Amino acid sequence: MSNAGSERDARPWPRFDRELWLLVALALAKLLFHLATDGQYGFHRDELQFLSDARHLDWGFVAYPPLTPFLGHIEWQLSGASLVGFRFFPALAQSIVFVVAGLTARRLGGGRAAMWLAAFAVALSPVSLSASSLFMYVSFDFLWCVLLAYFVVCRIQSNDVRWWLAIGAVVGLGMMTKYTMAFFVAGLVAGVVLTPLRKDLSGKWLWLGLALSLLIFLPNLVWQVRHDFITLTFLEFIHARDIGEGRAAGFWFDQIKVAANFATVPLWLSGLWFVFFGRQAQRWRALGWMSLAPFAILALAKGRGYYVAPLYPVLLAAGAVQWQRWLEVRPPSRRRTGWTAAFLLTACGLIVLRACLPLAPVHSAHWELINKLNGDFREEFGWPELARENARIWNTLGADERAHAVVYASNYGEAGALELYGPQYGLPQVVSATNSFWLRGPGDPDARVIIVNGSSRGDWQPHCDSLELAGRTGNAAHVANEETTYHPDIFVCRGPKKTLRERWPELPEFG
**Tens of pLDDT, residues 72-112:** 999 999 999 999 999 999 999 999 999 999 999 999 999 99
pLDDT in tens, 129-164: 999 999 999 999 999 999 999 999 999 999 999 999
| Residue 371: predicted pLDDT | 87
Residue 271: count other Cβ atoms within 10 Å of its Cβ.
32
Quick check: 225 and 218 in contact, CB under 8 A?
no
| Coil/strand/helix, residue 302 | coil
Beta bridge partners of 491: 452, 469
| Continuous segment of H or E residues that includes residue 167 | helix 163-175
| Residue 8: predicted pLDDT | 47
Q: What's the pTM?
A: 0.93
**pLDDT < 50 regions, the chain:** 1-8
Buried b (16+ CB within 10 A) or exposed e, 223-261: bbeebeebbeebbeeebeeeeeeebbeebeebbebbbbb
| Residue 364: predicted pLDDT | 86
Long-range residue pairs from 334-337, CB within 8 A, at least 24 positions apart, any chain: none
- Closest C-alpha among 489, 496, 488, 438 to residue 466: 496
| Residue 4: predicted pLDDT | 42
Quick check: 290 and 191 in contact, CB under 8 A?
yes
Residue 85: count other Cβ atoms within 10 Å of its Cβ.
16
Q: How crowded is the C-beta side of 404, counted as CA atoms within 13 Å?
A: 12
pLDDT in tens, 391-428: 999 999 999 999 999 999 999 999 999 999 999 999 99
What residue type is assigned to position 410 of the chain? S
Give me the phi and psi of 179, to 5 degrees please.
Answer: -70, -10
| Residue 54: predicted pLDDT | 97
Q: How far is CA 364 from CA 37, 175, 206, 427, in A?
A: 16, 41, 54, 35
Quick check: 195 and 186 in contact, CB under 8 A?
no
Report d(CA 464, CA 77) in Å as an integer: 40
Report d(CA 172, CA 163) in Å as an integer: 14
Q: How far is CA 376 from CA 123, 289, 370, 488, in A?
A: 19, 33, 10, 18
Spatial strand order of the sheet with 489-496 comes to 431-432, 405-409, 449-453, 489-496, 464-472
